[in-house]
Amino acid sequence: MELKDILKDGSKELNVEITGYQVDQLIKYKDILLEWNQKMNLTAIEEEKEVMIKHFLDSLSCIQTKYLKTEGRMIDVGTGAGFPGVPLKIALPNIELTLLDSLKKRIGFLEEVCRETNLINVEFLHGRAEDFGQNKAHREKYDYAVSRAVAALNILVEYCLPFVKVGGYFICQKGPGLIEELPEAKNAIKILGGEVVDQIVIDLPFSDITHHILVIKKIKQTPIKYPRKAGKPSKEPIK
C-alpha cells in the first residue's frame, strides 16, 4: 500500500478529512523527520509506513474527539518531534499553534518542518512547561492543550491545564496505562480546575494498536501556585 493511501484511507477511517495537499505536507514532514533522525534522536520509528500510522494517523485521531474546532489557539506541551501538534496544524490550518519543548535542537527541527511545509501562525517555545505555565503571555491563553504520553497523568495535568483558558480543553493521548493513571489523577484534575468530559478508545488504522484519548474541560481557573517550580510536579505529583 502506498504511503499516500495509508494517510488518505486511514484518515477516512478516523472520520478525518484531509486534502491531497495536506497529504503532500505530511509526506514532506516524514522526509525531514527521517533525514534529521540520522543526526539526532527524534523517533525510534524509522520505517516510512510506521511513521504514517504511529505518528501521523495517531496524531490526527485527536480530531475524532469532536472537541477540536477548525480555529483557536493550541499548545502542544512537550511536543518532541512535533506530535500531535504539527499533524493537527496540517489538518486544521487555521489553528494557531504553539510548540513547546525543552530541547533547543528539537525546536530547530520543528522550525525547519514548518518552513518546508509552509505552515504559518506557529510559535516555537524553548523551555519547560512549569516556567511557561506561570508566564502571563501563555497562562490560560489557549483554547486547547494537547500532549502525547509525556508523563504520568497526575504530573501531566499540572504541566498542561495552566495553559488552558476556562471553557477550553486539554486533549491527552495515552496508552492503556490511562486506566490505572486516571483514578490517581482525579484529585489533581479537580485542584487544577479541570473536569473529565470524555474518554475515547481509538483503534489505530492498519495496526493492532489501541490507545486512549482523555478530554478534560477547564471549568475554573488554575490556582496561582500551579504549576510549581520546574522539577517539582514530577518529584511530588499532586495527590
139 is in an annotated binding site: no
In 3D space, the residue among 61, 64, 87 whose CA is nearest the CA of residue 74 turns out to be 87
Instruction: Return the C-alpha cell found at 173.
Output: 493521548
Instruction: Return the C-alpha cell found at 112.
Output: 525547519
Distances (CA, A) of 195 to 141, 171, 232: 18, 12, 23
Q: Let me know: does 92 contact 42? Beta carbons within 8 Å.
A: no
Residue type, 40: M
- 61: helix, coil or strand? helix
2 is in an annotated binding site: no
Q: CA 136, CA 120: separation in Å to the nearest integer?
A: 23
Can you say how many angstroms the Cα of residue 113 is from the centroid of all Cα atoms in its chain?
16
Instruction: Return the C-alpha cell found at 188.
Output: 489533581
Cβ atoms < 10 Å from Cβ of 68: 21
123 is in an annotated binding site: no
44 is in an annotated binding site: no
Per the annotation, binding residues are 78, 83, 129-130, 148
Per the annotation, binding residues for S-adenosyl-L-methionine are 78, 83, 129-130, 148
